[in-house]
Structure formats: structure tokens, C-alpha cells
């Protein structure tokens, strides 16, 4: 396993991040435990979750599964850099969602209890809260850091200007600010290249792409359909929009002699702002082959070909001005 620093911090994380969103709804607790144990066997030390995962309001199903896995001991907690998120509704009453100081405090305490740990390595805002000023956000996060309950703060789904505003507010408080940003980024979804990635690079945030395979479109979807695998209605709709590109992509992967899923991950690993793509396996089998992406070296010709298939963006403002 390869490791890198998370943004401008001294924290070392694996180049692949284990996403746990399927733990509970689609993956049994037993299988979730097996996937997490195998992650450690492979050297993956970076796990991502959220208080809303499990998708039953207020239950924190996925965090509870991870907490029971930590409780098995054997160095599981100590070997894991755990990142979790808050923002979504955990109840029907006011102040049980978003990023007020009150919810930040309550949500952090609840996540610590479910995860059966006394600290969270990376505590992330799952979305921007347009009604909470960053002064309040940082005051609440700084209290948690002073208490030793969180170590680092990250964001998810922030625009470039949100990152800039968050960092400038943190600078006025003489605090570290954000160290990471989770964004929807892959060969098909290239919008973060406009302003999110430049903001991350300028302010020293590690980029953690979610949905690195575009919900399965970059995972060899045409091959799977040809073999009789069914596809969801969403995948069918997306495939209709991108079929020509996907056909060219899978043909190019054949030329490389590599699995499309691994090429999609490898492309992200070749982007200098990217710390670790989040892989969210439903099964151990799905997870087992992903480390092959770390071994794939894409030369300039291959990277150019991928950009021709899936055109990206120039850094703003050049993309929409001279």
C-alpha cells in the first residue's frame, strides 16, 4: 500500500479510502467486519463514514457497525484513521441537523458514542450550511479540538469559494482550518477542476473523490451487461447519455489490458490534488481487486487519450474566458 500526507498535515493515509456507506443497508455486519479486516490486511488505514449512513433517521447504523468492529480490539481503532461527517438530519426537532454550534457539539458526541472511540481523526461538514457563519462553525470545531474529541476538520461538497471563505475565517482565528475536501470527481464528472481543485491546491487541502467510478459507469458496465448482468434504471439512463464515451473508454482499457474500474481509479491517483479516492464495496470480492489500481502507471499518451474521451476543464477563469 502507498501512503501520502492528508493535505498539508503530517497525517499519513493510504492512497485508497474505504467508504462504508453500504455497511448496514446493503452489506451485513459480518461482511462489513470482513471487509474492514481485509482493508487492514491490504494496508488501507483510511476509512470514511457519516452519521446518516444506514439511512434510518437518527440510528447511525453504519457508525454503530464500525464501533462494534473497533470494540473487537486487536489494534483496529489504533490502525484506523476514521473520518466521519455531520450535516444531515438525525431527528425531526430543530437543531438536529446542519452546522450550528449546537448540532456540531451534539453530533460529535453522538458519533463518538456510536464509534466507541474517544476521538475522531477527521470531522467533516457533509455539505455547506448557508445559514451558519464560518465564525460559529470554527468556534464549535475549535472547542472540540481543544477537548481532544476531534483532530482535523474537513469539508464535503464545498464549492471553491466556500473553501476560500472557510480558510480565510480560520486564518483570522489562527487555526489550521480545513485539511481535506470530499468532492464528486471522476473521469465523467470534471467540474471540480474549475475552482474546487485550485482552491484545494492553494490552501493545502487533500482532495478525497467520492463516486470515483461514476456510480458504476466506469466499472466496465457494458461488459457486465453483455454478460447478462442487470443494471439499475439510473445506470441505464446515464449510460444512454454517455454510451459513446463509455464504449471508447472500455475499448481503450482493453488496449491497456486493464480492468476499467482500476483504470478509473488509477486516473484519479495520477491527479496531483487527489489524496485518496473513496471506494465503497458492497462485497469482499468487489473490494479485493481495487489495490491493482495503485500499480497502474498511465503515461502521458494514455492520460491524453482519457482526456480526449472525457474532456476536462481548464482552471477558472480560463475555461470560460481568455
Catalytic residues: 53
Hey, what's the cell of 290?
A: 481495487
φ and ψ at residue 9, rounded to 5 degrees: -85, 175
Give the number of other CB atoms < 10 A from CB of residue 236: 12
H helix or E strand, kind and range, residue 225: helix 221-226
Hey, what's the cell of 87?
A: 450535516
Count Cβ neighbours within 10 Å for each residue of 35-73 and write b for 16 or more, e otherwise: bbeebbebebbbbbbbbbbbeeeebbbbbbbbbebbeee
- Give the rounded distance of the alpha carbon of 220 from its chain centre: 21
Spatial distance between the Cα atoms of 177 and 7, rounded to a whole number of angstroms: 11
5 strand-pairing partners: 12
Amino acid at each position: 500500500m502507498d501512503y501520502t500526507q492528508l493535505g498539508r498535515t503530517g497525517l499519513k493515509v493510504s492512497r485508497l479510502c474505504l467508504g462504508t456507506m453500504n455497511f448496514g443497508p446493503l452489506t451485513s455486519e459480518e461482511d462489513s467486519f470482513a471487509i474492514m479486516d481485509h482493508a487492514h490486511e491490504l494496508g488501507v488505514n483510511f476509512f470514511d463514514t457519516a452519521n446518516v449512513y444506514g439511512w434510518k433517521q437518527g440510528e447511525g447504523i453504519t457508525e454503530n457497525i464500525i464501533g462494534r468492529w473497533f470494540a473487537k480490539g486487536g489494534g483496529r481503532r489504533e490502525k484506523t484513521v476514521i473520518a466521519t461527517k455531520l450535516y444531515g438530519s438525525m431527528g425531526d426537532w430543530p437543531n438536529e441537523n446542519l452546522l450550528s454550534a449546537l448540532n456540531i457539539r451534539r453530533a460529535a458526541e453522538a458519533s463518538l458514542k456510536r464509534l466507541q472511540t474517544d476521538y475522531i481523526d477527521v470531522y467533516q461538514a457533509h455539505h455547506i450550511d448557508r445559514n451558519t457563519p464560518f465564525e460559529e462553525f470554527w468556534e464549535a470545531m475549535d472547542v472540540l479540538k481543544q477537548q481532544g474529541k476531534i483532530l482535523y476538520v474537513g469539508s464535503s461538497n464545498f464549492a471553491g469559494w466556500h473553501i476560500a471563505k472557510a480558510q480565510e475565517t480560520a486564518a483570522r482565528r489562527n487555526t489550521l482550518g480545513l485539511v481535506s475536501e470530499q468532492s464528486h470527481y471522476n473521469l465523467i464528472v470534471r467540474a471540480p477542476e474549475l475552482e474546487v481543485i485550485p482552491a484545494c491546491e492553494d490552501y493545502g487541502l487533500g482532495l478525497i473523490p467520492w463516486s470515483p467510478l461514476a456510480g458504476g459507469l466506469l466499472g466496465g458496465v457494458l461488459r457486465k451487461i453483455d454478460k447478462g448482468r442487470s443494471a439499475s434504471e439510473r445506470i441505464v439512463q446515464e449510460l444512454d447519455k454517455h454510451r459513446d464515451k463509455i464504449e471508447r473508454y472500455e475499448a481503450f482499457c482493453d488496449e491497456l489490458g486493464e480492468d476499467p474500474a482500476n483504470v478509473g481509479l488509477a486516473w484519479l491517483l495520477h491527479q496531483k490534488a487527489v489524496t485518496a479516492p473513496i471506494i465503497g464495496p458492497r462485497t469482499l470480492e468487489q473490494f479485493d481487486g481495487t489495490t491493482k489500481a495503485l500499480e497502474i502507471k498511465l503515461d502521458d499518451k494514455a492520460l491524453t487519450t482519457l482526456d480526449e474521451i472525457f474532456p476536462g476543464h481548464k482552471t477558472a477563469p480560463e475555461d470560460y474566458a481568455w
